[in-house]
Amino acid sequence: MVGVSLFLALLPALSALATPIIYDGRAPFNYTKADFDASVDPYLTVVKGSQNASHYTTLLGKSVPPTPLWGRQILPLLPFPTIPNEQVVAVSIDNSSVFLPGGTNPQFGFRRTDVIAQKAGSTANLLPQMETGITVFHFSIKLDEKKPLNYNHEYQIVFIEPSDGSHVFGIQLGSPFTNPTGPLPAKNAHSFKVLDHALNVLFMTPFTSGSWHNFAVQVDWDKNTLAVLYSKDAGPLKAVTKAIPNTSHATGAAGQGEFHFGVLKLPLVNPNDSPADQGDVVHHGIQEGTTEGLLYSGVFVESVANGISVGGGRTVKAIN
């Protein structure tokens, strides 16, 4: 078989050691709607609108296959096909998705549903392992065809947020918010952009329909660098950048933060607002109130001690 011999030819370059998983955000099949509502590990689900978490975040059971990268191999020597061992998490927003941090000062500018990584009921518990040394943040994203985004807006969909509100890295979609509003949609609005802490674009790729878009971001917390890996569907992850300095990001505790994935939609400037309010994206601006969403699977964080998992049980070395 051509497929087998091609795979065997690749074997020497790839090792098959499992790497230590620090955080596993792949929803097991026994994870329920009630678990979501109660913020049962591995997710903290409080950053959302007024409805229960399960109104905004749906577990798709066996109805939609997750990214094939991390499934159980059926044939010992072949990385694919795989049997899913996680369910897809569908995250959406609607007009009720106005978050009240601490129950006050509603974020009327945003519509957001964030799913946040936690362990033993606490996001802070993860930081000593998840955000020291060199760690790799994995996530796969697919269009929710029934809940399309509005690419005239900016979306922040995956990020690590230290307490100063900056992002260690972030995934952006749509037209970056500008005041005044520029031509919409902006160039490349339909592409994923992987941003560094200073909002430089490290990698960009079109958000095509029908595919899982697999990302991994390697963060070296000591040297303060980022590196990006990417693939589609069953393709093994491949490095698309080298390790790039991210020096505006603080090292040590000040640079650590919660790991979010979901849908955060920024507003458009409302010309009727005062000049000060026009720049206040959190509390002011135009939102259409539409129902929009994204599908997620393959969310986990690993140490690079034994390399970076690239799918199909294979690993590559950490990126220099």
Ligand X SMILES: *[C@@H]1O[C@H](CO)[C@@H](O)[C@H](O)[C@H]1NC(C)=O
Task: State the Cα–Cα distance between residues 257 and 130, nearest whole angstrom.
Answer: 10
Asked if residues 127 and 142 have their Cβ atoms less than 8 Å apart, the reply is: no
Q: Is there binding between residue 37 and ligand X (CB under 6 A)?
A: yes
Contact region with ligand X (CB under 6 A), list: 30-38, 71-79, 212-220, 274-282: 30-38
Residue nearest to ligand X (CB): 248
Contact mark string toward ligand X, 261..290, x via CB under 6 A:
----------------------------x-
Tell me: does residue 121 bind ligand X (CB under 6 A): no
Q: Binding to ligand X by residue 28, rule CB under 6 A?
A: yes
Contacts of 311 by beta carbon, 8 Å cutoff, 6+ apart? 68, 69, 70, 79, 214, 231, 234, 235, 236, 237
Distance, in Å, from the CA atom of 205 to the CA atom of 213, rounded to the nearest integer, reads 9
Of 7 and 108, the one with the shorter C-beta distance to ligand X is: 108
What is the amino acid identity at position 17? Answer: L
Which one among 15, 39, 40, 250 touches ligand X, defined by CB under 6 A?
Answer: 40
Taking residues 164 to 203 in sequence order and writing x for each that binds ligand X by CB under 6 A, - otherwise, the string is --------------------------------xxx-x-x-
Pick the closer one to ligand X by CB: 212 or 292.
Answer: 292
Could you tell me the CA-to-CA distances from 18 to 216, 259, 302, 304, 309 in Å, in that order?
16, 23, 10, 10, 8
Helix, strand, or coil (residue 209): coil
244 near ligand X, rule: CB under 6 A: yes
- Does 297 sit near ligand X (CB under 6 A)? no
Stretch that binds ligand X, among 27-35, 82-90, 114-122, 306-314 (CB under 6 A): 27-35
CA atoms within 13 A on the CB side of 95: 5
User: Of 71, 92, 126, 123, nearest to 265 (Cα)?
Assistant: 92
- Identify which of residues 95 and 105 has a Cβ nearer to ligand X in the complex: 95
Residue appearing with tokens 């509390």 = 283
Distance CA 72, CA 163 (A): 38
| Residues within the interface to ligand X (CB under 6 A) | 28, 30-31, 35, 37, 40, 51-52, 95, 98, 108, 196-198, 200, 202, 244-248, 289
